[in-house]
Amino acid sequence: MTASLHQLLIDDRTAGIRLDIFVTRNFTAGQLSGLTRSGIQKLIGGGQITINGQKSKPSARLKTKDLVQIQNLEPREIALEPEALPLQIIYEDQDCIVINKAPGMVVHPTAGRSHGTLVNALLHHCSDLQGIGGEYRPGIVHRLDKDTSGAIIVAKNDFAFQQLAQQFKNRTVEKEYVALVWGKLAREKGIIDRPIGRHRSDRKRMSSIYPLAKVREAVTEWKVQQIYCVECADQREYWLSWLQVRPRTGRTHQIRVHLADLGHPVVGDRIYGFKKTSGNRSRNSGPHQFSRQALHAQKIGFKHPRSGAPITLVAPLAEDICSLLKELDPTGVDKD
Protein backbone atom coordinates (compact mmCIF):
# COMPACT_ATOMS: atom_id res chain seq x y z
CA MET A 1 0.00 0.00 0.00
CA THR A 2 1.24 3.51 -0.75
CA ALA A 3 2.83 5.14 2.28
CA SER A 4 0.33 7.42 3.96
CA LEU A 5 0.87 11.11 4.49
CA HIS A 6 -0.79 10.85 7.87
CA GLN A 7 -3.00 8.52 9.84
CA LEU A 8 -4.98 8.62 13.03
CA LEU A 9 -6.67 5.98 15.17
CA ILE A 10 -10.24 6.76 16.18
CA ASP A 11 -11.01 6.68 19.90
CA ASP A 12 -14.29 6.75 21.82
CA ARG A 13 -14.37 10.56 21.81
CA THR A 14 -14.44 10.85 18.02
CA ALA A 15 -16.42 7.72 17.19
CA GLY A 16 -19.67 8.42 15.33
CA ILE A 17 -18.48 11.50 13.44
CA ARG A 18 -18.65 11.64 9.62
CA LEU A 19 -15.38 10.93 7.81
CA ASP A 20 -15.37 14.22 5.86
CA ILE A 21 -16.05 16.28 8.97
CA PHE A 22 -13.34 14.44 10.92
CA VAL A 23 -10.74 15.04 8.20
CA THR A 24 -11.72 18.70 7.89
CA ARG A 25 -11.20 19.21 11.61
CA ASN A 26 -8.04 17.15 12.05
CA PHE A 27 -6.07 17.08 8.79
CA THR A 28 -6.09 20.68 7.56
CA ALA A 29 -2.30 20.98 7.57
CA GLY A 30 0.18 19.47 5.13
CA GLN A 31 -0.98 18.84 1.60
CA LEU A 32 -4.61 19.32 2.63
CA SER A 33 -3.89 22.89 3.71
CA GLY A 34 -6.37 25.28 2.13
CA LEU A 35 -8.80 22.59 0.94
CA THR A 36 -12.49 23.10 1.55
CA ARG A 37 -14.76 20.36 2.84
CA SER A 38 -15.94 19.72 -0.73
CA GLY A 39 -12.32 19.32 -1.81
CA ILE A 40 -11.77 16.78 0.95
CA GLN A 41 -14.92 14.93 -0.13
CA LYS A 42 -13.45 14.59 -3.63
CA LEU A 43 -10.28 13.03 -2.18
CA ILE A 44 -12.40 10.59 -0.17
CA GLY A 45 -14.36 9.70 -3.31
CA GLY A 46 -11.10 9.14 -5.18
CA GLY A 47 -9.80 6.74 -2.55
CA GLN A 48 -6.98 8.99 -1.36
CA ILE A 49 -8.52 9.19 2.09
CA THR A 50 -9.52 5.79 3.47
CA ILE A 51 -10.83 3.98 6.55
CA ASN A 52 -8.76 0.92 7.45
CA GLY A 53 -7.25 1.02 3.98
CA GLN A 54 -10.67 0.76 2.31
CA LYS A 55 -12.37 3.33 0.08
CA SER A 56 -15.35 4.92 1.87
CA LYS A 57 -18.03 7.54 1.42
CA PRO A 58 -17.64 11.06 2.87
CA SER A 59 -20.71 10.36 5.01
CA ALA A 60 -19.27 7.15 6.50
CA ARG A 61 -19.52 7.15 10.31
CA LEU A 62 -16.27 6.39 12.10
CA LYS A 63 -16.06 3.66 14.73
CA THR A 64 -13.69 3.19 17.64
CA LYS A 65 -10.31 1.77 16.50
CA ASP A 66 -10.90 2.73 12.86
CA LEU A 67 -7.72 3.96 11.17
CA VAL A 68 -8.16 7.04 8.98
CA GLN A 69 -5.36 7.29 6.41
CA ILE A 70 -4.44 9.98 3.90
CA GLN A 71 -2.26 8.81 1.04
CA ASN A 72 0.61 10.86 -0.36
CA LEU A 73 -0.81 13.34 -2.83
CA GLU A 74 0.97 14.50 -5.95
CA PRO A 75 2.01 18.14 -5.57
CA ARG A 76 -0.54 20.29 -7.36
CA GLU A 77 0.53 22.73 -10.02
CA ILE A 78 0.34 26.29 -8.75
CA ALA A 79 0.44 29.57 -10.57
CA LEU A 80 2.28 31.53 -7.90
CA GLU A 81 5.03 33.81 -9.08
CA PRO A 82 8.24 34.47 -7.13
CA GLU A 83 8.67 38.15 -6.33
CA ALA A 84 11.77 39.98 -5.12
CA LEU A 85 10.06 41.59 -2.14
CA PRO A 86 12.02 42.72 0.94
CA LEU A 87 12.15 40.22 3.80
CA GLN A 88 13.52 40.74 7.31
CA ILE A 89 14.98 37.31 8.10
CA ILE A 90 15.70 36.64 11.78
CA TYR A 91 16.63 32.94 11.41
CA GLU A 92 17.29 30.53 8.56
CA ASP A 93 18.76 27.07 7.99
CA GLN A 94 18.12 24.17 5.60
CA ASP A 95 14.84 23.25 7.32
CA CYS A 96 13.07 26.46 8.24
CA ILE A 97 13.11 30.22 8.02
CA VAL A 98 11.67 32.76 10.45
CA ILE A 99 10.58 36.13 9.08
CA ASN A 100 9.75 39.36 10.86
CA LYS A 101 6.66 40.02 8.75
CA ALA A 102 6.02 43.61 7.80
CA PRO A 103 2.61 45.14 8.59
CA GLY A 104 0.30 45.20 5.60
CA MET A 105 1.77 42.06 4.01
CA VAL A 106 -0.69 39.21 3.42
CA VAL A 107 0.79 35.82 4.33
CA HIS A 108 -0.51 33.73 1.43
CA PRO A 109 -2.47 34.33 -1.79
CA THR A 110 -6.25 34.30 -1.76
CA ALA A 111 -8.87 34.32 -4.48
CA GLY A 112 -8.53 38.07 -4.91
CA ARG A 113 -4.80 38.45 -4.33
CA SER A 114 -2.05 36.51 -6.10
CA HIS A 115 0.86 38.98 -5.80
CA GLY A 116 2.69 40.84 -3.09
CA THR A 117 2.27 38.19 -0.40
CA LEU A 118 4.81 36.64 1.95
CA VAL A 119 4.56 33.43 -0.07
CA ASN A 120 5.50 35.26 -3.28
CA ALA A 121 8.55 36.69 -1.53
CA LEU A 122 9.52 33.33 -0.06
CA LEU A 123 9.29 31.59 -3.43
CA HIS A 124 11.88 34.05 -4.71
CA HIS A 125 14.12 33.57 -1.68
CA CYS A 126 13.69 29.77 -1.41
CA SER A 127 13.53 28.36 -4.92
CA ASP A 128 12.56 24.84 -3.78
CA LEU A 129 9.70 25.91 -1.51
CA GLN A 130 6.95 25.30 -4.07
CA GLY A 131 4.75 22.26 -3.38
CA ILE A 132 5.40 22.11 0.38
CA GLY A 133 2.25 22.14 2.46
CA GLY A 134 -0.44 23.22 0.03
CA GLU A 135 -1.31 24.81 -3.27
CA TYR A 136 -1.48 28.40 -2.12
CA ARG A 137 0.38 28.15 1.19
CA PRO A 138 3.74 26.46 0.49
CA GLY A 139 5.68 26.09 3.73
CA ILE A 140 3.19 28.06 5.83
CA VAL A 141 2.51 26.30 9.15
CA HIS A 142 0.78 29.21 10.89
CA ARG A 143 -0.44 32.67 9.99
CA LEU A 144 -0.52 36.29 11.08
CA ASP A 145 -3.25 38.73 10.11
CA LYS A 146 -2.37 41.11 7.29
CA ASP A 147 -1.98 44.09 9.62
CA THR A 148 -0.21 42.21 12.41
CA SER A 149 3.56 42.37 12.23
CA GLY A 150 6.14 40.03 13.71
CA ALA A 151 7.64 36.55 13.81
CA ILE A 152 6.32 33.81 11.52
CA ILE A 153 7.90 30.38 10.91
CA VAL A 154 8.01 28.83 7.44
CA ALA A 155 9.07 25.23 6.67
CA LYS A 156 11.50 24.63 3.79
CA ASN A 157 10.80 20.92 3.28
CA ASP A 158 8.04 18.37 3.93
CA PHE A 159 9.76 16.84 6.96
CA ALA A 160 10.11 20.20 8.67
CA PHE A 161 6.53 21.09 7.74
CA GLN A 162 5.09 18.01 9.41
CA GLN A 163 7.24 18.42 12.53
CA LEU A 164 6.40 22.10 12.97
CA ALA A 165 2.71 21.60 12.22
CA GLN A 166 2.60 18.95 14.95
CA GLN A 167 4.18 21.35 17.44
CA PHE A 168 1.48 23.93 16.71
CA LYS A 169 -1.20 21.27 16.99
CA ASN A 170 0.21 20.12 20.35
CA ARG A 171 0.44 23.75 21.53
CA THR A 172 4.13 23.45 22.39
CA VAL A 173 5.11 26.52 20.35
CA GLU A 174 5.54 29.51 22.66
CA LYS A 175 4.12 32.72 21.20
CA GLU A 176 4.43 36.14 22.78
CA TYR A 177 2.86 39.30 21.39
CA VAL A 178 2.84 42.94 22.42
CA ALA A 179 -0.18 45.17 21.93
CA LEU A 180 -1.22 48.75 22.62
CA VAL A 181 -4.83 48.80 23.78
CA TRP A 182 -7.35 51.45 24.76
CA GLY A 183 -7.98 52.02 28.44
CA LYS A 184 -6.42 51.19 31.78
CA LEU A 185 -6.92 47.58 32.82
CA ALA A 186 -8.18 46.92 36.31
CA ARG A 187 -5.43 44.42 37.16
CA GLU A 188 -1.75 44.01 36.34
CA LYS A 189 -2.28 40.63 34.69
CA GLY A 190 -4.96 38.11 33.87
CA ILE A 191 -6.20 35.22 31.76
CA ILE A 192 -9.12 35.35 29.33
CA ASP A 193 -10.60 31.86 29.04
CA ARG A 194 -13.60 32.19 26.74
CA PRO A 195 -14.44 30.14 23.62
CA ILE A 196 -14.55 31.92 20.28
CA GLY A 197 -16.86 31.40 17.32
CA ARG A 198 -18.35 33.29 14.39
CA HIS A 199 -20.33 36.34 15.48
CA ARG A 200 -24.04 35.53 15.42
CA SER A 201 -24.97 38.63 13.39
CA ASP A 202 -21.75 39.37 11.44
CA ARG A 203 -20.17 36.28 9.91
CA LYS A 204 -17.02 38.21 8.96
CA ARG A 205 -16.22 38.74 12.63
CA MET A 206 -15.40 36.42 15.50
CA SER A 207 -16.76 36.81 19.03
CA SER A 208 -16.43 35.36 22.51
CA ILE A 209 -19.58 37.15 23.75
CA TYR A 210 -22.07 36.77 20.87
CA PRO A 211 -20.91 33.68 18.98
CA LEU A 212 -22.94 31.13 17.08
CA ALA A 213 -23.47 27.76 18.76
CA LYS A 214 -20.24 26.32 17.32
CA VAL A 215 -17.29 27.63 19.35
CA ARG A 216 -13.73 26.52 20.02
CA GLU A 217 -11.64 26.79 23.16
CA ALA A 218 -9.59 30.00 23.35
CA VAL A 219 -7.27 31.09 26.16
CA THR A 220 -5.23 34.31 26.23
CA GLU A 221 -2.82 35.40 28.97
CA TRP A 222 -2.00 39.10 29.32
CA LYS A 223 0.22 41.31 31.46
CA VAL A 224 0.48 45.10 31.64
CA GLN A 225 3.93 46.42 30.77
CA GLN A 226 3.26 50.15 30.74
CA ILE A 227 0.38 52.61 31.11
CA TYR A 228 0.13 55.87 29.15
CA CYS A 229 -2.04 58.91 29.73
CA VAL A 230 -2.58 61.32 26.84
CA GLU A 231 -4.18 64.74 27.09
CA CYS A 232 -6.43 65.93 24.27
CA ALA A 233 -6.74 69.47 22.96
CA ASP A 234 -9.87 69.91 25.08
CA GLN A 235 -7.77 68.98 28.15
CA ARG A 236 -9.54 65.65 28.61
CA GLU A 237 -7.37 62.64 29.29
CA TYR A 238 -7.52 59.13 27.92
CA TRP A 239 -5.58 56.01 28.86
CA LEU A 240 -3.69 53.39 26.91
CA SER A 241 -1.98 50.19 28.06
CA TRP A 242 1.02 48.42 26.57
CA LEU A 243 0.50 44.68 27.07
CA GLN A 244 2.49 41.49 26.80
CA VAL A 245 0.09 38.85 25.46
CA ARG A 246 0.53 35.08 25.31
CA PRO A 247 -2.13 33.11 23.41
CA ARG A 248 -2.33 29.53 24.67
CA THR A 249 -4.53 28.57 21.71
CA GLY A 250 -4.50 29.78 18.12
CA ARG A 251 -7.99 30.82 17.06
CA THR A 252 -8.80 33.27 14.28
CA HIS A 253 -8.31 36.88 15.52
CA GLN A 254 -8.02 35.46 19.06
CA ILE A 255 -6.02 38.23 20.73
CA ARG A 256 -7.99 41.01 19.04
CA VAL A 257 -11.35 39.41 19.92
CA HIS A 258 -10.49 38.62 23.52
CA LEU A 259 -9.10 42.09 24.26
CA ALA A 260 -12.00 43.83 22.52
CA ASP A 261 -14.55 41.72 24.39
CA LEU A 262 -12.71 42.58 27.60
CA GLY A 263 -13.41 46.24 26.82
CA HIS A 264 -9.86 47.10 25.76
CA PRO A 265 -9.59 46.78 21.97
CA VAL A 266 -6.24 47.03 20.22
CA VAL A 267 -5.43 50.54 19.02
CA GLY A 268 -6.05 50.87 15.28
CA ASP A 269 -8.18 47.72 14.98
CA ARG A 270 -10.69 48.54 12.25
CA ILE A 271 -12.80 45.41 12.85
CA TYR A 272 -12.92 45.02 16.62
CA GLY A 273 -11.93 48.53 17.74
CA PHE A 274 -14.06 51.44 18.84
CA LYS A 275 -16.17 53.03 16.12
CA LYS A 276 -14.92 56.43 15.02
CA THR A 277 -16.98 59.48 15.88
CA SER A 278 -16.70 63.07 14.76
CA GLY A 279 -15.00 63.78 18.07
CA ASN A 280 -12.14 61.32 17.78
CA ARG A 281 -11.71 61.82 14.04
CA SER A 282 -10.63 65.38 14.76
CA ARG A 283 -7.84 64.32 17.09
CA ASN A 284 -4.38 64.40 15.59
CA SER A 285 -2.66 62.22 18.18
CA GLY A 286 -0.95 59.04 17.02
CA PRO A 287 -3.24 56.46 18.64
CA HIS A 288 -6.38 57.87 17.00
CA GLN A 289 -4.72 58.06 13.60
CA PHE A 290 -2.86 54.71 13.71
CA SER A 291 -3.68 52.92 10.47
CA ARG A 292 -3.56 49.27 11.58
CA GLN A 293 -3.91 47.21 14.74
CA ALA A 294 -0.99 47.92 17.07
CA LEU A 295 -0.25 44.22 17.52
CA HIS A 296 3.16 42.59 17.02
CA ALA A 297 4.29 38.94 17.33
CA GLN A 298 7.44 39.72 19.26
CA LYS A 299 8.77 36.34 20.37
CA ILE A 300 8.44 32.74 19.23
CA GLY A 301 9.90 29.61 20.77
CA PHE A 302 9.91 26.14 19.22
CA LYS A 303 11.98 22.98 18.87
CA HIS A 304 14.07 22.68 15.75
CA PRO A 305 12.17 20.27 13.45
CA ARG A 306 15.24 18.08 12.85
CA SER A 307 17.54 18.38 15.86
CA GLY A 308 14.92 19.05 18.51
CA ALA A 309 17.06 21.86 19.94
CA PRO A 310 15.04 24.68 21.55
CA ILE A 311 15.01 27.94 19.58
CA THR A 312 13.71 31.26 20.88
CA LEU A 313 13.66 34.26 18.56
CA VAL A 314 12.70 37.90 19.00
CA ALA A 315 11.31 40.03 16.17
CA PRO A 316 12.13 43.76 16.53
CA LEU A 317 9.14 46.07 16.67
CA ALA A 318 7.89 47.50 13.39
CA GLU A 319 8.84 51.13 12.79
CA ASP A 320 5.26 52.41 12.93
CA ILE A 321 4.72 50.98 16.42
CA CYS A 322 8.10 52.34 17.58
CA SER A 323 7.12 55.79 16.35
CA LEU A 324 3.73 55.55 18.05
CA LEU A 325 5.28 54.61 21.40
CA LYS A 326 7.71 57.52 21.17
CA GLU A 327 4.74 59.87 20.98
CA LEU A 328 3.36 58.59 24.27
CA ASP A 329 4.78 59.80 27.57
CA PRO A 330 4.85 57.21 30.40
CA THR A 331 2.75 58.42 33.35
CA GLY A 332 4.41 56.37 36.04
CA VAL A 333 0.96 55.46 37.34
CA ASP A 334 0.77 52.44 39.61
CA LYS A 335 -0.54 49.55 37.52
CA ASP A 336 -2.38 47.84 40.40
pLDDT in tens, 270-310: 999 986 554 444 455 679 889 999 999 999 999 999 999 99
Q: Please indicate, yes or no, if residue 8 is contained in any of the structural domains.
A: yes
Which of 290, 291, 186 lies closest to 241, judged by CA?
A: 186
- Full residue range of the structural domain in which residue 287 is found: 174-327
Which of 20, 145, 147, 320 is an active site residue? 145
pTM of the model: 0.74
- Is 147 found in the same domain as 244? no
Q: What is the CATH number of the domain that holds 62?
A: 3.10.290.10
- Considering the domain architecture, whether residues 156 and 254 belong to the same structural domain is answered as no
Q: Which tens digits make up the pLDDT trace of 207-248?
A: 999 998 889 999 999 999 999 988 776 667 889 999 999 999
Question: Catalytic annotation on 11?
Answer: no
In a domain, 152, yes or no: yes
The answer to whether 178 touches 326, Cβ cutoff 8 Å, is no
CATH number of the domain enclosing 137: 3.30.2350.10
Q: Is 83 part of a structural domain of the chain?
A: no
In this structure, the answer to whether residues 116 and 257 fall within a common structural domain is no
Query: 185 and 294: one domain?
Result: yes
Mean pLDDT over residues 103-112, rounded? 82
Query: Rounded CA gap, 157 and 85, in Å?
Result: 21
pLDDT tens string 116-156: 999 999 999 987 776 666 555 778 999 999 999 999 999 99
Same domain, yes or no: 146 and 225: no
Last residue of a domain, one of 36, 71, 106: 71
pLDDT in tens, 239-276: 999 999 999 999 999 999 999 999 999 999 999 998 65
Question: At which of 39, 71, 103 does a domain end?
Answer: 71
Query: Domain for residue 108, yes or no?
Result: yes
C-beta atoms surrounding 321 within 10 Å? 23
Res. 6: pLDDT tops 80: no
Q: Which amino acid is at 75?
A: P
Per-residue pLDDT tens digits for 52-79:
989 999 999 999 999 998 876 654 444 6
User: Per the domain annotation, does 84 fall within a domain?
Assistant: no
80 domain residue, yes or no:
no
Please indicate, yes or no, whether residues 115 and 238 belong to a single structural domain of this protein.
Answer: no
Question: Would you say residue 312 has pLDDT above 80?
Answer: yes
Q: 334 in a domain, yes or no?
A: no
Domain count, the chain: 3
**Residue at which a domain ends, from 117, 142, 169:** 169
| Residues 190 and 135 both lie in one domain | no
Q: Are residues 51 and 111 in the same domain?
A: no
Average pLDDT, the chain: 86
Question: Is 193 within the bounds of a domain?
Answer: yes
Q: What is the mean pLDDT of residues 70-98?
A: 82
Same domain, 213 and 257: yes
Question: Which pLDDT score, from 0 to 100, does residue 332 have?
Answer: 45
Q: Are residues 18 and 97 in the same domain?
A: no
